Amino acid sequence: MAGTADEQTRRRTIDALRDLQYALEPPEETMQRLLVSLDLKIFDMLSESEIPLSLDELAQRSGAGRILLGKVGLRCRIVGTGSDTFAGRFLRHQSSLGIIKETDKDEFTASTQRGIFPFQRSRPACTSGNEPIRGATKQRLTRPRETSYFNRFMYAQRSGMKNCFSFLPIDQECKDWPADQPVFVDVGGGTGQQCTTIKEKCPNLPGRVILQDLPAVIAEAKVPDDIETMAYDFFTPQPIKGAKYYYLRAIMHDHADDKCLEILKRVADAMSPKSILLLDEIVVPNKNVEWYVTQTDLAMMVQFSSTERTEDQWRELLGKAGLEVQKITTYTYTFRLSVIAAMKKE
Ligand SMILES: C[S@@+](CC[C@H](N)C(=O)[O-])C[C@H]1O[C@@H](n2cnc3c(N)ncnc32)[C@H](O)[C@@H]1O
């Protein structure tokens, strides 16, 4: 077909296949593909409205304030309202990608991806400074609304995916664990998504389950009473010593190696010979990498000057922190989500 069809037929077929792909993908994959945020609430307006909305209506209701273009980190101020503004161009572009639908000239509605819109409001992090993620986190934490959006995004991001507590041998490894000792510490655990999940998956887990994050995030935590919450900065000494598991999900990929080492050494200092560090992260294959993985890697590079890591890089990083990899289990195909279990070197 590539050689015989005319350009229009080929283009239409490609677009139809794309629409089929979008219809099949789950929300967490859509979220990765979009990589765009819009603070005009246009996504919200479209997804809440039963009927298509005109560009003028959208521009008027939104006040046509600021808009973030689809390129990561690129910000642009919109001036004026009406059909000849950037908003129209932006919406047409979104529509051309199938993110929203153009129902008529200058008239739009939500696409089948409407479910993810409420989570698409956190802005790209700033890209300046020596350690962009820290600057971005600090900035975000001064803005309660953004903190809340980010926390919701983190909560939603993996909620539809396979969870590592479905297959890790937690019950078996903890069957003799003393009830008064810390069993699971989720470092940078957000509002408690994984603490709650481990309790659901392992209802008889003995020992204390502790959620740690920065104060503004802990203030938003919604966890059952038997989960302890603790405001803690992971660049400072870890106050919980000798826990069975120290669990860090999506923390390392936010940081360059030197900062990861600081965090890992804080954990390693608190670990006993029985402790296990669990890093729940992407492990990049050495070849034939899926675009979801490369895209996430580039997003981390552009936004935070950080990186996704290959198995060799993980082993080297952990080795420098005095830790030894015991096992790596990759549990999703698309994103190569993996659990790296490590213990202190003897
Ligand atoms: C990418 S999110 C991951 C959240 C959670 N682990 C998950 O997978 O859903 C990074 C988390 O690290 C937290 N964080 C950032 N800097 C921190 C610090 N210095 N100390 C403790 N937590 C921090 C953020 O507030 C955020 O909840």
Read out DSSP for 167-213?
TS-HHHHTTT--TTSEEEEEET-TTTHHHHHHHHH-TT--SEEEEEE
Helix H or strand E segment including 49: none
The verdict on residue 139 lying in a domain is no
Nearest to 82 by CA among 55, 47, 53: 55
Q: Is 134 exposed, middle or buried (0-12, 13-18, 19+ CB in 10 A)?
A: middle
Instruction: Verify that 179 and 324 share a domain, yes or no.
Output: yes
Q: Which residue has the higher pLDDT, 12 or 253?
A: 253
pTM for the model stands at 0.70
Q: pLDDT class for 36, splitting at 50, 70, 90?
A: very low
Instruction: Verify that 192 and 100 share a domain, yes or no.
Output: no
The winner for highest mean pLDDT among 13-17, 106-110, 326-330, 333-337 is 326-330
Lowest mean pLDDT among 136-145, 219-228, 236-245: 136-145
Question: What pLDDT is attached to residue 162?
Answer: 87
The whole-number average pLDDT for the span 320-346 is: 94
Domain end (from 92, 120, 148): 120
Instruction: Verify that 276 and 325 share a domain, yes or no.
Output: yes
The verdict on residue 289 lying in a domain is yes
Domain end (from 120, 147, 179): 120
Question: What pLDDT is attached to residue 239?
Answer: 98
Cα–ligand 1 centroid distance for 56 (angstroms): 39
Instruction: Verify that 177 and 71 share a domain, yes or no.
Output: no
Question: What pLDDT is attached to residue 83?
Answer: 33
Out of 253, 259, 266, 344, which one is annotated catalytic? 253
DSSP character for 116?
A: G
Give per-residue pLDDT as tens, 41-58. Answer: 777 788 788 899 887 787
Q: pLDDT class for 65, splitting at 50, 70, 90?
A: very low
Other C-beta atoms lying within 10 Å of the C-beta of residue 25: 16
Instruction: Verify that 191 and 333 share a domain, yes or no.
Output: yes
For ligand 1, whether the C-beta of 281 sits within 6 Å is no
Determine the atom of ligand 1 nearest the C-alpha atom of 158. 9
Is-contact 312 137, C-beta < 8 A?
no
For ligand 1, whether the C-beta of 153 sits within 6 Å is no
Question: What pLDDT is attached to residue 290?
Answer: 74
Give per-residue pLDDT as tens, 79-135. Answer: 333 334 444 666 766 676 667 788 887 788 887 554 444 434 333 333 334 455 666
For ligand 1, whether the C-beta of 192 sits within 6 Å is no
Helix H or strand E segment including 36: none
The verdict on residue 328 lying in a domain is yes
The verdict on residue 143 lying in a domain is no
The verdict on residue 267 lying in a domain is yes
- With vertex at residue 185, the alpha carbon angle to CA 179 and CA 190, rounded to the nearest 5 degrees, is 135
Domain end (from 55, 90, 120): 120
Question: What pLDDT is attached to residue 117?
Answer: 43
Q: Which residue has the higher pLDDT, 157 or 163?
A: 163
Alpha-helix runs per DSSP H in the chain: 7-24, 27-34, 42-48, 55-62, 86-96, 132-141, 144-157, 170-173, 193-201, 215-218, 257-270, 291-304, 311-320
Q: pLDDT class for 39, splitting at 50, 70, 90?
A: low
For ligand 1, whether the C-beta of 254 sits within 6 Å is yes
Q: Which pair of structure tokens corresponds to residue 97?
A: 């990608």
The whole-number average pLDDT for the span 67-86 is: 34
Instruction: Verify that 311 and 210 share a domain, yes or no.
Output: yes
Residue labelled with tokens 């009830």:
179
For ligand 1, whether the C-beta of 163 sits within 6 Å is no
Q: How far apart are CA 40 and CA 215, in angstroms?
A: 29
Q: Which of 131, 152, 213 to mutate to test the pocket of ligand 1 (most atoms within 8 A of CB)?
A: 213
Nearest to 113 by CA among 12, 21, 11: 21
The verdict on residue 152 lying in a domain is no
Give the closest residue (by CA) to ligand 1 atom 18.
233
Instruction: Verify that 110 and 236 share a domain, yes or no.
Output: no
Question: What pLDDT is attached to residue 23?
Answer: 83
Q: Which of 28, 137, 152, 248 to mutate to test the pocket of ligand 1 (most atoms within 8 A of CB)?
A: 137
Which range of residues forms the domain containing residue 215? Answer: 160-344
Instruction: Verify that 313 and 179 share a domain, yes or no.
Output: yes
Is-contact 119 152, C-beta < 8 A?
yes
Q: Which residue has the higher pLDDT, 43 or 24?
A: 24
Instruction: Verify that 201 and 288 share a domain, yes or no.
Output: yes
Give per-residue pLDDT as tens, 264-320. Answer: 999 999 999 999 999 999 999 877 777 778 777 877 776 677 889 989 999 999 999
Residue labelled with tokens 């304030």:
65
CATH code at position 14: 1.10.10.10
**Does the pLDDT of residue 35 top 50, yes or no?**
no
Give per-residue pLDDT as tens, 176-229. Answer: 999 999 999 999 999 999 999 999 999 999 999 999 999 999 998 989 999 999
Residue 319 CB partners (closer than 8 Å, separation 6+): 345
CATH code at position 328: 3.40.50.150
The verdict on residue 26 lying in a domain is yes
Determine the atom of ligand 1 nearest the C-alpha atom of 134. 16
Say whether 253 is catalytic.
yes
The verdict on residue 251 lying in a domain is yes
For ligand 1, whether the C-beta of 221 sits within 6 Å is no
Number of domains in the chain: 2
